[in-house]
Amino acid sequence: MCGIIACAGVRRASEILYKGLCDLEYRGYDSAGISVRREDGIVTVKRAGRVSAIECARRLGGDAGIGHTRWATHGAPTDANAHPHNFGGFSVVHNGIIENYAQLKAELAARGDEFLSQTDSEVVAHLLAKYYRGDLKEAVIRTVRRLKGAFALCILHEEFGGFAAVKYRSPVIAGYGSGCFAASDMPALSGLADRVAVLKDGQIAFAGENGFTFCDFDGNAVSLTFSPLPPQLRSGGKAGFPHYMIKEINEIPAAIRQTAAAFEAEGCARAFAKLRRKKFSQVIVCGCGTAYHAALAAAYGGEELLGVPVRAETAGEYRYRRRRKLSGTLFVAVSQSGETADTVEAARAAKAAGARVIAVTNVPYSALTSVADVVVPVRAGAEICVAATKSYCGQCAALGLTFCALAGGRHYGRAKRALAEAAAMCADAISGCAAEDAARACASASAVYFIGRGADYPSALEGSLKLKEVSYIPGEGYPAGELKHGPIALIDGGTLTVAVITDPALAEKTASAVEQVCARGGRAAVVCAEGCETAGLRGRAEYFIAIPRSELFPAIVAAVPLQLIAYRTAVILGRDPDKPRNLAKSVTVE
Ligand code: AGP
């Protein structure tokens, strides 16, 4: 979604804010803006485009300020709709959605206020001005009590030396370092703050000369505990790689190993042994986008392992489904960010219906963790590229460990060994993968279809999503058996079909789908695990990518060539794989 940042008690606030916005840019890159407080008042620079469009703002100076990078929801990406929004001595940045903005706008317009943007956020500056009678705290409290929806706000006022930050259903982290800071996530605070505190819903921070004070929406003082910024949440930059995407693909083996180590260190196996004794009758695994594909991959093996029905659901559908009581249900919510609105709300709905909720997430302080009964850590480290890569493999690893720990007996030990092997296989696949030729074929194709059977179907879906989001080439992922029931009508010489084959028992079946594609003049590439090559397959497919075979974690190893193909295709086509058009890393709106 959007990224917000604020600082106070610093020299050259504008430099700090600009750098912070560069770190937050993956949350949205439609427009950017900075306001700083100087002796001559509040000065604002904002523009449509990427953060680099406000490079000149670095020289504004100031001892306090706020900044914003936007993923447009209300109003096109224009200069006027860029944040901050200023009115009556206030300057405001917002992440989230003010659901009752139209009603508030009408009320404020009726008393003569003029609005300069089409955003929902501008009403906040107007409400603050309306309620300000010389007491900032009172104005902020009266304002936030009028708002419905989700809002993380940073607020500057011309008569106040610091800033205020508000948290309600969108994240705000406060930090102390060589000044006071607040931001949408921890990586943006690395290098600025050494101690951080996560605000809860309904809390307000005021950063002034003497540091932070906190209160709730009723004005009651609250105290927050600051702790050191976790090292895994520091963003390490591109480390010599041309893009975050390829850097993060290279970090897959580490993500798997660290996830397995954290599962052990945080006592997840013990927690699941207890849960097992309580008995459960079904498991629902839920997420959006790539996280849903990890859920689906886990569900394929899960049913046999656990002996109860296991199904995967997309969170956006699940949250609005009428449901029976869910006592005896384990609801596993999967989310890299832990912020995705649909996933968090689906978990809340499942919990309200009586399910036990397990959160599988890469962000330990996220909203999802506060809903969960058990948190399973993914330790992929900060993922900056908008397209999920290492976090997907980390999610598959964490889900596999979860299911094996729930199954009990020898399964958990077996999963740990298989993951150590899968991490080594990924390292081999990264260094030895022949993705380049297949990527060239993708780059010149009119459409690219991905097919797989059984556990390879989620891999086909994920391969297709990855290619679409970074290259913009149309395509779909299909179960290989479905191809002949309709999609085969799309096959012609301009299309490429990528088949994923990692299960020897199903290899012949998927190979025959490849035959059907080739018989209609379509081009084919095969990602094939050791021991799955069928007679003549290498000759039929134009591109043959061999990968090692992991029996327990086929989706993890298959992800490597699929991600590399997507990355190389984007680069060949001159796309920015780290910041695909129209996307944002965390989708905190419905
Ligand atoms: C992944 O490449 C996508 N950018 C997207 O599908 C993502 O996985 C989805 O929005 C869910 O995000 P989450 O894992 O943070 O909940």
Q: How far is CA 313 from the centre of its chain?
A: 17
Of the CA atoms within 13 Å of residue 359, those in its CB half-sphere come to 29
Q: Report how far ligand 1's centroid is from the alpha carbon of 391 (Å).
A: 9
Assign domain 433-578 to its CATH architecture. Answer: 3-Layer(aba) Sandwich (3.40)
Cβ of residue 387 lying under 6 Å from some atom of ligand 1: yes
**Predicted pLDDT of residue 278:** 75
- The domains of the chain are located at 3-229, 241-430, 433-578
Cβ of residue 586 lying under 6 Å from some atom of ligand 1: yes
Looking at CATH, the fold of the domain delimited by 241-430 is given as Rossmann fold (3.40.50)
Q: How far is CA 589 from the centre of its chain?
A: 12
**Predicted pLDDT of residue 236:** 76
pTM value surpassing 0.95: no
Q: Report how far ligand 1's centroid is from the alpha carbon of 579 (Å).
A: 13
Token pair in block for residue 576: 């920015």
**Predicted pLDDT of residue 409:** 85
| Residue 69 contacts residue 27 (beta carbons within 8 Å) | yes
- Identify the CA nearest to 35 among candidates 54, 56, 14, 11: 14
Q: Tell me the per-residue pLDDT of 253-267, one tens digit each, with 9 for 90 and over.
A: 999 999 999 999 999
Separation CA 453–CA 484 (nearest Å): 13
Separation CA 97–CA 243 (nearest Å): 31
Taking the chain (590 residues) in runs of 10, the rounded mean pLDDT of each run is 93 95 89 95 96 94 95 87 97 95 97 95 98 97 96 96 95 95 93 94 94 97 93 79 97 98 94 83 97 97 92 94 88 96 95 96 92 96 95 98 93 96 96 90 97 97 98 96 92 97 95 94 96 91 95 97 98 96 81
Separation CA 342–CA 344 (nearest Å): 6
**Predicted pLDDT of residue 433:** 78
Tokens 């109860």 -> residue = 308
Separation CA 394–CA 404 (nearest Å): 15
**Predicted pLDDT of residue 203:** 98
Pocket test for ligand 1, best of 313, 336, 343 (most atoms within 8 A of CB): 336
Count H helices and E strands in the chain, helices first.
Answer: 18, 25
CATH 2.70.98.90 fits 3-229, yes or no: no
**Predicted pLDDT of residue 160:** 92
Q: Tell me the per-residue pLDDT of 166-185, one tens digit each, with 9 for 90 and over.
A: 999 899 999 999 999 999 99
What are the catalytic residues? 2, 585
Tokens 């789908």 -> residue = 513
Asked whether this chain's domains 241-430 and 433-578 adopt the same fold, the reply is yes
Separation CA 79–CA 8 (nearest Å): 25
Spatial neighbors of 135 by CB under 8 A, at least 6 apart, are none
- Identify the CA nearest to 497 among candidates 470, 478, 471, 481: 478
